[in-house]
């Protein structure tokens, strides 16, 4: 899926703006429930006012990036609307996560507001003391719960809420493939989650109590906290839209946009260029078989015709091949031969057409010492790999993969166009970017360097000043027999 990475790149910018979002009800008419359907030029000015200077500089120097930011935010909001239309937000674990987001955003913004003068570069909610956490789980800070049965009741409710919170998180992680079947969090992970949950709810409860009493504040303070409340409301809606979009893309849209083998076969048959390539390559493989039938030497023909760089110079030879190392169609064809026989028809895999000769069958060992059947084989590959003409730097890929990607992209574009058509969202594209001074740029660079140095020192401390390990070998650097 290409939609999701694009969306997440935008969100790194959009959702890093902290408490700077301000929701002006008099200006923004497109909000209903938890949906955002309209962001004006003035709103965007407020959305970006707390971007760091480097982000602002990038946007100001690149008008196309500025336009893309608006367009992709529009896409996020449209997809979120579609997710709500299809009832995704009604799923219990999704509904719970949306509520958790609402509480976390209010708590973190409240933390930033009341602790901003302390000037310490600490993680969110760091100023909450252990005593407050203990009181939270004891139910002591609940309204009217001064002790006894009231506190016990509040404590029990909070334990139940935490269990519901964790169950929803595990369900979400499982749906996204982040947990193996039956896998459970460790005691340490649960302990950390419980502490984070308590901290969030402590500041959420404080903030909620503060906002519930805005009308009793003095005019200046009332204005300040109303602006804060409106800011948090919009942040919440944008964060919830982001979450719904991501979930909809992964759980719903990905299934709808799957490209089947039938789709690929139909496309290749109807594409004259690809059909010509396939027919020519098969004809070349047929020619090789014809030469074998006329007495040609398999090894010599492999050196002349094969397009497999891993075995060409060895006469197409692979020795000690174990189960699953090659494409299933290749392996099946090889194992159906008797030693000395070769395939009478080309064997099609996604890499091309193979002419296969079985040398012998044997027995070998797996890495853990177990016995397994093996075979020695020669093959001649007539490759059907193709380079994407729109990406000259791309590696050659199997035609099926090339077509799958092409069809997938087409389906994504069509689906996105349909979603945007059926879910109208207005996002201004003519917003202005605040100017950034050299002093501001220098300051943010110094902060980044300081943070990087602190991270390096922390890593060295944890590793006992041990030298860093060598970089791992990439998959590309490790040749795989099945790709030959």
SS3 of 346, please?
coil
SS3 of 393, please?
coil
Phi, psi (degrees; rounded to nearest 5) at 269: -65, -35
pLDDT score, position 144: 44
Q: Which of 51, 68, 90, 60 is nearest to 7 (CA)?
A: 68
Of 28-37, 350-359, 465-474, the poorest mean pLDDT is in 465-474
Of 7-11, 329-333, 337-341, the poorest mean pLDDT is in 7-11
pLDDT score, position 270: 92
Using one digit for the tens of pLDDT, what is the confidence trace for 410-450?
998 999 999 999 999 988 888 888 887 888 788 877 777 87
Token digits of residue 359? 């040398």
- Separation of alpha carbons 48 and 30, rounded Å: 19
The larger pLDDT score, comparing residue 165 to residue 63, is at 165
Strand stretches in 1-160, DSSP E: 31-32, 35-36, 38-39
Mean pLDDT across the chain = 82
Q: How confident is the model at residue 49 (pLDDT cuts 50, 70, 90)?
A: low
Does residue 327 contact residue 349 with C-beta atoms inside 8 Å? yes
The larger pLDDT score, comparing residue 394 to residue 357, is at 357
Token digits of residue 376? 């020695």
Helix H or strand E encompassing 427: strand 426-427
DSSP secondary structure string for all residues of 211-262: HHTGGGS-HHHHHHHHHHHHHHHHHHHHHHHHHHHHHHIIIIIHHHTPPPHH
SS3 of 333, please?
helix
Do strands 371-383 and 347-349 pair parallel, antiparallel, or not at all (unpaired)? unpaired
Beta bridge partners of 355: 380
Of 74-78, 241-245, 401-405, 477-481, the poorest mean pLDDT is in 477-481
Highest mean pLDDT among 44-48, 148-152, 253-257, 331-335: 331-335
Q: Is the pLDDT at 480 greater than 50, yes or no? A: no
pLDDT score, position 20: 26
- Separation of alpha carbons 20 and 97, rounded Å: 23
Does residue 251 contact residue 89 with C-beta atoms inside 8 Å? no
The larger pLDDT score, comparing residue 409 to residue 458, is at 409
Q: Is the pLDDT at 383 greater than 90, yes or no? A: yes
Token digits of residue 218? 């003095």
pLDDT score, position 361: 93
Does residue 428 contact residue 39 with C-beta atoms inside 8 Å? yes
Does residue 320 contact residue 374 with C-beta atoms inside 8 Å? yes
List Cα–Cα distances, 461 to 188, 454, 455, 471, in angstroms: 22, 10, 10, 20
Q: Is the pLDDT at 142 greater than 60, yes or no? A: no
Does residue 237 contact residue 35 with C-beta atoms inside 8 Å? yes
Q: Is the pLDDT at 184 greater than 60, yes or no? A: yes
Q: What domains sit in the chain, N to C, each tagged with a CATH number?
A: 3-258+406-463 (no CATH), 266-397 (3.10.50.40)
Residue with structure tokens 């100001």? 60
Q: Is the pLDDT at 354 greater than 90, yes or no? A: yes
Question: How many residues in total does the chain contain?
Answer: 484
Q: How confident is the model at residue 298 (pLDDT cuts 50, 70, 90)?
A: very high
pLDDT score, position 52: 76
Do strands 352-365 and 371-383 pair parallel, antiparallel, or not at all (unpaired)? antiparallel
- Separation of alpha carbons 86 and 47, rounded Å: 29
Using one digit for the tens of pLDDT, what is the confidence trace for 207-234?
999 999 999 999 999 999 998 888 888 7
- Separation of alpha carbons 104 and 196, rounded Å: 10
Q: How confident is the model at residue 34 (pLDDT cuts 50, 70, 90)?
A: low
Q: Which of 292, 291, 307, 413 is nearest to 352 (CA)?
A: 307
Q: How confident is the model at residue 6 (pLDDT cuts 50, 70, 90)?
A: very low
pLDDT score, position 462: 65
| Percentage above 90 pLDDT, the chain | 48
């Amino acid at each position: 899926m290409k939609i999701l990475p694009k969306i997440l790149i935008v969100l790194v910018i959009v959702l890093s703006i902290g408490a700077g979002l301000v929701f002006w009800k008099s200006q923004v008419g497109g909000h209903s429930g938890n949906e955002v359907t309209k962001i004006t030029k003035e709103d965007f000015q407020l959305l970006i006012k707390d971007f760091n200077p480097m982000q602002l500089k990038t946007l100001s120097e690149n008008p196309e990036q500025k336009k893309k930011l608006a367009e992709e935010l529009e896409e996020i909001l449209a997809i979120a609307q579609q997710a709500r239309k299809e009832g995704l937000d009604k799923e219990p674990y999704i509904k719970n996560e949306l509520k958790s987001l609402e509480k976390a955003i209010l708590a973190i913004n409240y933390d930033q507001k009341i602790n901003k003068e302390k000037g310490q570069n600490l993680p969110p909610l760091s100023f909450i003391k252990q005593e407050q956490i203990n009181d939270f789980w004891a139910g002591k800070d609940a309204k009217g719960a001064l002790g006894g049965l009231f506190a016990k009741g509040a404590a029990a409710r909070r334990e139940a809420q935490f269990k519901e919170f964790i169950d929803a998180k595990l369900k979400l992680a499982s749906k996204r493939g982040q947990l193996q079947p039956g896998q459970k969090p460790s005691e340490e992970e649960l302990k950390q989650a419980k502490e984070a949950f308590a901290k969030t709810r402590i500041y959420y409860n404080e903030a909620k109590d503060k906002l519930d009493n805005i009308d009793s504040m003095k005019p200046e303070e009332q204005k300040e906290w109303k602006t804060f409340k409106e800011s948090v409301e919009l942040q919440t809606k944008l964060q919830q839209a982001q979450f719904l979009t991501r979930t909809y893309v992964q759980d719903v849209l990905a299934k709808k946009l799957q490209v089947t083998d039938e789709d690929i076969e139909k496309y290749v048959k109807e594409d004259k260029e690809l059909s010509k390539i396939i027919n020519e390559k098969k004809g070349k493989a047929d020619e090789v078989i014809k030469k074998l039938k006329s007495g040609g030497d398999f090894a010599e023909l492999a050196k002349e015709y094969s397009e497999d760089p891993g075995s060409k110079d060895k006469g197409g030879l692979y020795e000690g091949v174990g189960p699953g190392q090659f494409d299933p169609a290749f392996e099946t064809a090889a194992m159906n031969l008797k030693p000395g026989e070769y395939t009478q028809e080309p064997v099609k895999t996604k890499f091309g057409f193979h002419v296969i000769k079985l040398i012998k069958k044997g027995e070998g060992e797996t890495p853990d010492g177990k016995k397994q059947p093996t075979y020695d084989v020669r093959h001649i590959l007539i490759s059907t790999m193709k380079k994407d003409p729109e990406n000259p730097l791309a590696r050659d890929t199997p035609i099926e993969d090339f077509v799958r990607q092409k069809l997938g992209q087409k389906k994504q574009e069509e689906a996105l166009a349909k979603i945007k058509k059926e879910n109208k969202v207005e996002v201004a594209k003519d917003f202005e970017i605040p100017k950034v001074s050299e002093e501001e740029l220098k300051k943010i660079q110094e902060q980044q360097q300081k943070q990087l140095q602190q991270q390096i020192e922390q890593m060295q401390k944890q590793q006992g000043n041990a030298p860093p390990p060598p970089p791992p070998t990439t998959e590309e650097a490790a040749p795989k027999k099945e790709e030959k």
